[in-house]
Amino acid sequence: MAKPSLYASARAPGKLILAGEHFVVLGSPAVSMAINLYAFATAQATAEAELKVEANILLATLGDAERKSRPDTKELLEPFRLAARESLDSLGRKRKGVSVEIECQIPIGAGLGSSAATAVAIIAATSRAYGATMDKSRICQIAFGPESYLHGSPSGVDHATSTYGGLIQFSKPDKVTKVRVKRMPSLLVCDTNVHRSTKGLVRSVVKGAKADSEAYRSRVGEVSEISKAVLRALRRSDDVELGELMNRNHELLVEIGVSHPMLDKLVMAARKAGALGAKMTGAGGGGCMIALCEDEQMTSRIGSALRKLGGSPYLVSIDPTGVVSSTNSTVLK
């Protein structure tokens, strides 16, 4: 068995969903992109079978109101302890422990995949601390446990995007196709600053799909076509087509009740300010929206329109690599 190293560190990216959120849980493919906002984990192998997970930054990013409505710190960290435990089990180190510290640049509960990225970084760092380099498919498999703990019935798109990086098409249970494009679209992300739980939103959609299966079947079919068309538009660098597809995808998400008045307000304002397309991204109910911009001038015009309405816009770019790890204390920042 490989010798445990003292420290290891890993970094895993957050994500944006360009098409197919929620419907991916019901069977449509989704198109997502890893972004240059990261979760970091440092891990130290310990001789006792003890798990220690610390995450000061993660908790500090929660506002007072959210902190009240959320479970206590212990509960909040449970999925991350699970990520560390399942990594050790998978390495055949059931009797060993690990001490993990996490930091997260990705806003929490904002639809950008903060929990999946944190779990993926913990898994990669823990295995490196024990002298192993897990392959990406195994990291992804292990990350499903903590994501299920948090989200109930996740599709897997968040942790697949964080693990593999770049632009991917994802279908349940674990089909990942890396997509290569000549030019990445210019996307402005805007946070509504209303944060919420993915679990409740996913549960409500699954419940709705059971109650009204006919209507949902047709929407799942339409979103599947949208996802395929989004890939074609990306490959052709056809931003006009991509924008129209994003708009239609947003309408379908509104129909199933996962948007939020603030999201709709920002989406409308972005389109009015010239965006080629705009939609919510991730689970909705608040969180973030994305706007497709033609050039820098348009980006700054849309950014100031969204800021005036109370949104927090920021520019992101693609993360091409996904999770990376190192066998020393460099936290890869």
DSSP 194: -
Can you tell me which of 29, 165, 282, 322 binds ligand PMV, judged by CB under 6 A?
282
What is the spatial distance between Cα 288 and Cα 224, in angstroms, rounded to a whole number? 22
Tokens of 149: 């703990």
Active site residue 239: no
User: Taking contact as CB under 6 A, which single stretch among the options 93-101, 183-191, 265-273, 280-288 is the one that binds ligand PMV?
Assistant: 280-288
List, in sequence order, every residue forming a beta bridge with 31; answer none if it has no partner: 19, 169
Least distance to ligand PMV from the beta carbon of 206, Å? 10
283, 290, 306, 323: which one binds ligand PMV (CB under 6 A): 283
* Minimum CB–partner distance for residue 22 and ligand PMV (Å): 5
For the CB of residue 172, give the shortest distance to ligand PMV in the complex, in Å: 8
Catalytic residue among 158, 191, 239, 319: 158
Is residue 230 within 8 Å of residue 242, measured between CB atoms? yes
Size, binding site for ligand PMV by CB under 6 A:
16
Which of the stretches 22-30, 80-88, 99-107, 183-191 binds ligand PMV when contact is defined by CB under 6 A? 22-30
Where does 17-156 have alpha helices with state H? 56-60, 64-69, 73-90, 114-129, 136-151
Dist. CA 204–CA 202, nearest whole Å = 5
Q: Which of 51, 55, 134, 202 binds ligand PMV (CB under 6 A)?
A: 202
For residue 47, count other CB atoms closer than 10 A to its CB: 9
Tell me the residue type at 320: P
Q: Give the side-chain half-sphere CA count within 13 A for 30.
A: 28
Side-chain-side CA neighbours of 272 within 13 Å: the count stands at: 9
Binding of ligand PMV by 113 (CB under 6 A): yes
Q: Smallest distance, Å, CB 159 to ligand PMV?
A: 9
Residues 133-152 that bind ligand PMV (CB under 6 A): 151
Residues classed as catalytic:
158
| Residue ranges that bind ligand PMV, judged by CB under 6 A | 21-22, 24-25, 111, 113, 151, 154-155, 157-158, 198, 202, 282-283, 287
